[in-house]
A and B are shown apart, each in its own frame.
Chain A
């Protein structure tokens, strides 16, 4: 089986760029083979006995179906391009070897994550992915903020992992197995389990029905941490402290998609409540992140919030049952977001060179310092333009296909909902428009207008390998890769592959035509607006100046104050609690022990006192009494016969006197 070998290849590839690239290429080829063999064919399943505990026999193995085959191709494809890109991007880094080592480890764990068949093993790779992400975010470990961002990412992921672990515990308890096929396959344990009178029954095991919801909720919780959904999204923007190539691979294309992947893998477990929760989380996240992205000035931060927002779209799609559309969007998003990041990386990289050459100081990631770069870096500009169009969901791009399918599904879904829930699709449309606006803002500020630095040294186009990788990704941003008809989602082969039968989207034909049309039209209007506002030299003109003072701007700019909230609600109380418990431990618990020790010592001292002065005193008293008696009587024993005589005579006399008178 080729899979195992390539997994090993990528772990062993720990030496240098050459080996890493070679191994990732092997992986890519092998996963392409796997993909062609598995796609739309029989799912393949291999497993070996791993260990047994008590009555549980755990197996580890590989499960290949459309989902995992598609994912593995996606992961290895994107990883390969990013590897290629990194050759140039990281070339001058002194710790290059460490970089390749971490990157290979990441690729290994990510690829293993998508193919394994057992939830416990999945969990292991799930955490391993988080761990490698920790390593890579903190790659420049001399920078404090990078290290802190890494820690934050790991701990946020850990919080989600607890949910995952809780879900594993519930399922193992209920079904006695963690094998994904046995649990979630057709006729698997989940579909055979039923709910009767509030009791969740599976074979001989039963639990209160609420645990089914809790199990779904637990896995969902794990997924929102990994996929950076509200309220556990705060780690992702900080994670941008890592190298840009890493942000591109891990924090845009692959790792963050793992949460969505998990949901897809175990989809049958989620009941209505959790699906509803997904819808709510997804829409809140996507809306919130898009609004934040509107006002950020850091190039990478904008893209990070955009990622969060797009992941929110996928989550929303999962929640409304558009499983296939979510995965389709995941795939297209992986490519165009990866491309966006790589372009951003190219811009930053070249500006760094420019900065060194021009010997001036400015923040290379702040879009306010850029402008007019399209004249200097036309290829990067073109690539970025394609990616942005895909992100905005303009026609003829891949993003158009996938995003519109989500919007359409959500309109379909909302027609069966009442109350607030029926507003969900409108919120999604609004978010989608905001997306268009912020990405247009980014493009105009970075590439249009005139360059905002004084020096007239030209900024150069990135080296050729980077350009090649950008161009490769551009291919995946346009429609023919996914569907021959640029306007019809139903024809997309990926969509067909992910769901057994593509639902008929055309419940209302009119809507199907109207929604994309309207969205596209308004998008173009917004782009025009953005071009007016932002392409000028002093981009933030009077229009934004007004907005700047408002509360909403503040709210968006400070990312809805969520970081501060976390600090106040969790971090500070936790530190306080730990200090309190430490004092408790030192003063009270240990104090009791020392107190016991001291009281024993005191007792000892007391008994010494009693012993020395009372008991020994009595003994000594007795001694001295008898001694003094002895002293008194000693005088009687003078040894002189005359004294004895006199005493005797006196005694005799006394005796007789007494005798005589009595």
Chain B
């Protein structure tokens, strides 16, 4: 039992405790969850500190270079003539996944703090919450595709109930939309997984395998199998590998999300209770990005190169389209949701460039957005909790009433709009720099995409500043009159405990981006070598 397993199953254990405890004790559930996530945070900090960097620990497609590895045979069935069914319990981290462990733990911790607002059916809520926690960590550490898929699908189930049962007015609509949308992507993913399984063999045992790392090595493919790089099989008139890449990409891209597959996101974010919004924006979107790097790019490198122009274009379109939509929103949560679409566009743009700066920048952007969007949703939740309204136009001059809240909002807004000194600036500027250099380094995406993407920075300044001006400045004027004035109290200690670490991380990473860049640098370089030798 190594640290990763503990990290994964600790929330499950806590969830079991929650289920075991009688309902009379339900006041303690949140403390159990809080304790579990705090422990998880410490463990992932331990992983972060003990994570070794350097060319010998780059990972990606080198089994030996992964760290904290656990591998035991899990399912090993003799199927007679069909060979052996071999599924491993295989976990490990490299520079690509390790930062996300820390991100997940911190965001989960904050989400628990935001869960104080949940008042009904606490047992169900916290049990599902902790199950979700387990699944997310599992996705980031799994190196066996079957295990990955298992965790990936396992995420959906608690999320569906969390949105559908504890959400807002249109929660059922949002929940079913979210569920079906994501499922739609992942069902086809299953087909590809099966196809890959029959194409790849374990070089040691000779039997078929779900091991992702084996899938990244062209030598392990069975000659003539459907996804064999040398066989060049065709499906529906296009290369089977390209098709597989596209299917997997769409599956993950729904999560990211990209325009035009993004419409589940505003609904789900708006209807979900605050902690679930935090998890959705803070972590779930990053699973999409992580999956694209870990699976799409690593297993189908040549398809990634072929389609990078399209991915870059999708990125630019998402940036600008998301920003324009954000500008038109009147609901605070919807605005943040669309700003997420815009910010995640930078991630795709960075990926498409396939340069070290671009991919590092994209990863930085994901981590930074994880902290910042969690913070933004938390802040939106603060207001919603107090007066159950989120219409921007209904608030004015809040800075007079809630100065501390305003200060936090200011940090979150300005950090999100890419003010230097905060992490989002590093993420965005390096994604753009990567996209810009791509033309002279590998010629994958043209320079105008970087210039187009930088327009998003301008637009994000416009919508954030405009919102800030409308809600916080001017004379105090509230829709709900005197009632609201009493209800809108400034942030309390619990909320500060949640907000300060997020603000701190955003600043820390903005001033010392080496904290992330150096940890992942060798992995990123290795990935680029793998994809574009």
Interface members, chain A 567-603 (any B CB < 8 Å): 574-575, 577-579, 581-582, 585, 589-590, 592-593, 597
Q: Which of B127-135, B279-287, B461-469, B500-508 contacts its partner?
A: B461-469
Tell whether, in the assembled complex, residue B263 and residue A589 are in contact, meaning their CB atoms are under 8 Å apart.
yes
Stretch at the interface among B38-46, B138-146, B510-518: B510-518
Does A616 lie at the interface of the complex (its beta carbon under 8 Å from any beta carbon of B)?
no
**B361 part of interface (Cβ distance < 8 Å):** yes
Q: Is B378 an interface residue (CB 8 A)?
A: no
Q: Does B327 contact A (CB under 8 A)?
A: yes
Kindly list chain B residues whose C-beta atoms are within 8 Å of the C-beta of A52: 514, 517-518, 521
Q: Is the CB of A142 within 8 A of B475?
A: yes
User: Which of A116-155 touch B at CB < 8 Å?
Assistant: 120, 123-128, 131, 138, 141-142, 144, 147-148, 151, 154-155
Of B324, B457, B514, the most chain A CB neighbours within 10 A belong to: B324
List CB contacts (< 8 Å) of B254-291 with chain A. 259-260, 262-264
Q: Is the beta-carbon distance between B437 and A578 smaller than 8 angstroms?
A: no
- State whether B357 touches A56 (Cβ < 8 A): yes
Interface size in chain A (residues, C-beta < 8 A)? 51
Is B368 part of the binding interface, using a Cβ–Cβ cutoff of 8 Å? Answer: no
Tell me the residues in window 165-196 of chain A with beta carbons closer than 8 Å to chain B beta carbons. Answer: 165-166, 168-170, 172-173
Are A169 and B433 in contact, with the CB atoms below 8 A?
yes
Stretch at the interface among B66-74, B233-241, B447-455: B447-455
CB-defined contacts of A51 to chain B, threshold 8 Å: 512-514, 517-518
Q: What 0/1 readout, one digit per residue, does chain B (118-137) give for beta carbons within 8 Å of chain A?
A: 00000000000000000000
- Measured between beta carbons, the chain A residues less than 8 angstroms from B458 are 155, 158-159, 162
Bound Cα distance A165, B437 (Å): 13
Stretch at the interface among B14-22, B75-83, B223-231, B418-426: B418-426
**Are A593 and B181 neighbours in the complex by a CB distance under 8 Å?**
yes
Within 8 Å of chain B (Cβ to Cβ): is A642? no
Known: A52-B521, A205-B440. A144 touches B474 (CB 8 A): yes
- Chain A contacts of B462 at CB under 8 A? 155, 574
A54 B263 Cβ-Cβ under 8 A = no
Task: For A577, list chain B residues within 8 Å (CB).
Answer: 324
Whole-angstrom distance between the Cβ of A530 and the nearest chain B Cβ? 40
Interfacial chain A residues near B524, Cβ < 8 Å: 54
Chain A CB count within 10 A is highest, among B361, B430, B512, for B430
Query: Does A55 make an interface contact (CB < 8 A)?
Result: yes
> A53-B356, A123-B420 given as contacts; is B457 within 8 A of A578 (CB)?
no
Cα distance, A590 to B465, chains bound together (Å): 27
Known: A155-B465, A597-B180. A54 touches B525 (CB 8 A): yes
Residues of A within 8 A of B328 (CB): 578-579, 581-582
Please state if B454 and A165 are interface contacts (CB–CB under 8 Å): yes
Chain A 203-252 residues near chain B, CB threshold 8 A: 205-207
The reply to whether B357 and A54 form a contact with Cβ atoms under 8 Å apart is yes
CA distance A170 to B437 in the complex (A): 8
Residue ID in chain A nearest B520 by CB atoms: A53
Measured CA separation A138–B180 after assembly (Å): 46
Instruction: Report B-chain residues with C-beta under 8 Å of the C-beta of A205.
Output: 440
Q: Which residues of A contact B419 (CB under 8 A)?
A: 127-128, 131
A172 touches B433 (CB 8 A): yes
Q: What distance in Å separates the Cβ of B37 from its nearest Cβ neighbour in chain A?
A: 29
Complex contact A53–B325 (CB within 8 A): no
Judged by a CB distance under 8 angstroms, whether B198 is at the interface is: no
- Residue in B324, B451, B474 whose CB lies within 8 Å of A142: B474
Which of A123, A172, A575 contacts B327, CB < 8 Å?
Answer: A575
Minimum CB distance partner of B510 in chain A = A124
Q: Which residues of A contact B262 (CB under 8 A)?
A: 589
Taking the closest CB of chain A, its distance from the CB of B312, in whole angstroms, is 15
Residues in B whose Cβ lies below 8 Å from that of A582: 324-325, 328-329
Contacting residues, chain A, for B517 (C-beta < 8 A): 51-53
Q: Inside 8 A of B414's CB, which chain A residues have their CB?
A: 131
CB distance from B405 to the nearest CB of A (A): 15
Is there contact, CB below 8 Å, between B420 and A53?
A: no
Does B201 interact with chain A (Cβ within 8 Å)? Answer: no
B324, A578: Cβ atoms under 8 Å? yes
What is the minimal beta-carbon distance from A80 to any residue of chain B, in angstroms? 25
Task: Point out the residues of chain B lying under 8 angstroms from A151, CB to CB.
Answer: 465-466, 469
Contact of A154 with B461 in the complex, beta carbons under 8 Å: yes
Residue A50 is within 8 A (CB to CB) of chain B in the complex? yes
- Selected from A127, A142, A590, A593, the residue in CB contact (under 8 A) with B420 is A127
- Are A138 and B451 in contact, with the CB atoms below 8 A? no
Q: Which residues of A contact B425 (CB under 8 A)?
A: 124, 127
CB under 8 Å from chain B, chain A span 486-518: none
Q: In the bound complex, how far is the Cα of B397 from the Cα of A54, in angstroms?
A: 46
Establish whether residues B324 and A124, one from each chain, have CB atoms under 8 Å apart when the complex forms.
Answer: no
A165 and B432 contact, Cβ closer than 8 Å, known pairs A53-B517, A151-B469: yes
Contact A590 B325 (CB under 8 A): no
B360 in the interface, Cβ–Cβ < 8 Å?
yes
Contact residues in B for A589 (Cβ distance below 8 Å): 259-260, 262-263
Given contacts A53-B430, A162-B455, A169-B450, contact A147 B420 (CB under 8 A): no
Q: Are A593 and B263 in contact (CB under 8 A)?
A: yes
- Interchain CB contact under 8 A, B437 and A155: no
CB distance from A576 to the nearest CB of B (A): 10
Enumerate chain A interface residues (CB-CB to B < 8 A). 50-56, 120, 123-128, 131, 138, 141-142, 144, 147-148, 151, 154-155, 158-159, 161-162, 165-166, 168-170, 172-173, 205-207, 574-575, 577-579, 581-582, 585, 589-590, 592-593, 597
Lowest 7 CB-CB distances: which A-B pairs, in order? Answer: A54-B356, A124-B420, A51-B514, A582-B328, A578-B327, A169-B436, A590-B263
10 additional A-B pairs beyond A54-B355, A126-B420, beta carbons within 8 Å, are A52-B514, A52-B521, A53-B360, A54-B521, A123-B420, A138-B473, A165-B457, A577-B324, A581-B325, A597-B180
15 A-B residue pairs with Cβ-Cβ distance under 8 Å, sorted by A, are A51-B518, A53-B361, A53-B430, A54-B356, A54-B360, A54-B521, A124-B425, A128-B419, A142-B397, A151-B466, A154-B465, A162-B458, A172-B433, A173-B433, A593-B181
